[in-house]
Structure 1
Amino acid sequence: MQRDKFISKLLGNERPIWIYTPHGYSADKKPYGLLVLTDGGLYVNAAHVATTLDNLIAAGVIPPLVAVMVDNPDRGRELSCSSAYADFLAQEIVPWARANYHATDRPEQTIIGGASLGGLQAAFVGLKHPEVFGNVLSQSGAFSWKPDGEKEYEWLNRQFAASPRLPLRFSFEAGLLEGTWWWRSLVPPSPNGPPVIDPTLLAANRNLRDTLLSKGYSVHYTEFNGNHGLLNWRGTLASHLIALVGIKPEPKISERGRTLTARSQYVGRYELDPKFAHDFVIYATVKDDSLWVKPSYLRQRPVIAESNSGFRDSEIPDLHLAFIKDEKGNVTGLTLNCGQGDMLVKKLPSPVPSLTGNTTFTLPGHTDAESVAIYGSFNNWIQTKNYCAKERDAWICRIDLAPGKYTYRFLVDGVGLNDPANSVTEDDGNGHMDSVIVIKPK
Structure 2
Amino acid sequence: MKRFIDTIKNIFSIEELRTRILNTLLFITVFRLGSFVVLPGVEPDLMAVSTGGLLGLLDTFLGGAFSKASIFALGIMPYISASIAIQLLTMAMPYFQKMQKEGESGRKKLNQITRVLTIVVTFAQGLTYLTTTVPDEALLVPRSIFTVSSIFILISGTMFCMWLGERITDKGVGNGISMLIMIGIVSRFPGSIYQEFASRGSGGILIFVLELVALYFVIMAAVMLTQAVRRVPIQYAKQVVGNRAVGLGQRQYLPLKVNAAGVMPIIFAQALMFLPTAVFGAFAEDSDFAANAATVFADFTSWQYSLLYALLIIVFTFFYTAISVNPQQIADDMKRGGGFVPGVKPGQQTSDYISTILDRITFPGSIMLAVVAILPAFAAILGMTTSFAQFFGGTSLLIMVGVVLDTLQQVESYLLMRRYEGLMKSGRIKGRAESLAV
Q: Same fold (TM over 0.5)?
A: no
Normalized per residue, which structure has more strand? 1
Pick 1 or 2: higher relative contact order, CA cutoff 8 A, min separation 6: 2
Give the structure-2-normalised TM-score: 0.21
Normalized per residue, which structure has more helix? 2
